[in-house]
């Protein structure tokens, strides 16, 4: 549901805001629209193919909530599926960096370090999510 809320509002939320969306009165609780359903279907169809790559199902991009959330919201917000013909390869390279199996590309070690630090605590803070998404996009760009 957190991803649906993000797609609906295009904004990151704190845990309290997410909970209020479920129980509060002021939130738009309409059914998922056709456009939202289409976005979600396209996203998860891409992820299904991406997860078929060797080692991806066990990677932190697939198993760790802050990394998964950042990946999904980045793909959606930044239009990565349309931007990169080789997005699966790029995400696979980022997965190896995040898992510690590969070093960051030359000049991006600090970017990876900052991304990992932002992924370790206060992971639902909207500002930290924005920063994490920006850093994630930088890593995908150079992967």
Give the chain as a DSSP string: -HHHHHHHH-S---HHHHHHHHH-SSS--PPPPHHHHHHHHHHHHHHHHHHTSTTTTTSHHHH-HHHHHHHHHHHHHTTHHHH-TTHHHHHHHHHHHHHTSSPPPTT-HHHHHHHHHHTTSSTT-HHHHHHHHHHHHHHHHH-
User: How far from 104 is each of 98, 109, 116, CA to CA, in Å?
Assistant: 9, 5, 12
pLDDT tens per residue across all 143 residues of the chain: 778 777 877 887 777 777 776 676 665 567 788 988 898 899 899 999 999 999 999 999 999 999 999 999 999 988 898 899 999 999 999 999 999 999 999 999 999 999 999 999 888 888 999 999 999 999 999 99
pLDDT at res. 23: 73
pLDDT at res. 2: 79
pTM of the model: 0.85
pLDDT at res. 31: 78
CA-based end-to-end distance of the chain: 30
pLDDT at res. 29: 60
């Amino acid at each position: 549901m957190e991803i649906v809320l993000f797609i609906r509002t295009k904004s990151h939320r704190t845990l309290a805001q997410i909970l209020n969306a479920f129980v509060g009165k002021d939130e738009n609780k309409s059914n998922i629209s056709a456009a939202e359903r289409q976005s979600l279907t396209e996203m998860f169809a891409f992820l299904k193919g991406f997860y078929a790559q060797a080692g991806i199902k066990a990677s932190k991009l697939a198993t760790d909530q802050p990394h998964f959330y950042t990946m999904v919201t980045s793909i959606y917000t930044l239009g990565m599926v349309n931007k990169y013909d080789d997005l699966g390869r790029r995400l696979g390279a980022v997965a190896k960096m995040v898992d510690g199996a590969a070093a960051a590309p030359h000049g991006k070690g600090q970017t990876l370090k900052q991304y990992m630090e932002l992924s370790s605590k206060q992971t639902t803070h909207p500002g930290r999510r924005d920063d994490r998404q920006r850093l994630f996009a930088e890593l995908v760009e150079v992967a």
